[in-house]
Amino acid sequence: MTEPDGKPFLYVVVCAAGIAVDVSKLITAAQERAWEVGVIATPVAMGGFFDTAAVETQTGRPIRSAWRSPGDPRPFPPPDAVVVAPATFNTVNKWAAGLADTLAVATLCETYGLGVPVVVLPCVSDALAAHPAYQDSLVRLRGMGVRFGEPYSGEPEPGRERPEFGWERALDLLER
């Protein structure tokens, strides 16, 4: 739902991949493109994968990770769009299978019914990405209209640093 100030609302779903340490880059880029941002993180991602206090300051909202109590108001408005970055092997497979055991995956499972655009930037090693279940998950999610960024393993080329994750790819794919 568009916020009272006229800005569309973007959910950024953060999974427990090492590259999540830089998720503030995505939030900054989204805010510069006039998105209001709310972050939903997996429980594992909340355990030291990124600076949660800094992200809450940056977005001006608490990070959501657990379900609210019945009777509590919904902390975020409904999304106009959703970005999953970084997306782990685990969350991609659970989402495709419809296993809604974390707020993050449950939120992703709902997006199909809501009909909002969803973009995923996976961060999955080549070894894990070779698993047939992962390949099946990609086919299924693409068939649901989910847009994927190029594969990113996070593994440096021999003698080089880890390649840039390219956070803005998510916004480019969203707005294409």
Q: Does 88 bind ligand FMN (CB under 6 A)?
A: yes
* Distance, CA of 32 to chain centre: 18
Q: Which of 85, 146, 75 is nearest to 121 (CA)?
A: 85
Q: Which residue has the tokens 């070894």?
A: 127
CB of 8 to ligand FMN, least distance (A): 25
Q: Does 17 bind ligand FMN (CB under 6 A)?
A: yes
- Tell me, residue by residue from 35 to 74, as one string, x for binding to ligand FMN by CB under 6 A and - for no binding: -------x-xx-----------------------------
Q: Is 124 in the site for ligand FMN (CB under 6 A)?
A: yes
Among 12, 15, 81, 118, binds ligand FMN (CB under 6 A): 15
User: Is 166 an interacting residue with respect to ligand FMN (CB under 6 A)?
Assistant: no
Task: Give the residue from 50, 65, 41 showing the smallest Cα distance to 18.
Answer: 50
DSSP string, 21-67: GGHHHHHHHHHHTT-EEEEEE-TTTTTTTS-HHHHHHHHTSPPB-SP
Of 32-40, 70-78, 82-90, 164-172: span binding ligand FMN (CB under 6 A) = 82-90
Residue 44: CB minimum distance to ligand FMN, A: 4
Q: Are 51 and 23 in contact (CB under 8 A)?
A: no
Work out how close the CB of 4 gets to ligand FMN at its nearest, in angstroms, rounded to a whole number.
32
Q: Give the strand pairing for 118-122 and 147-148.
A: parallel
- Which residues are at the interface with ligand FMN (CB under 6 A)? 15-18, 42, 44-45, 88-91, 102, 123-124, 154
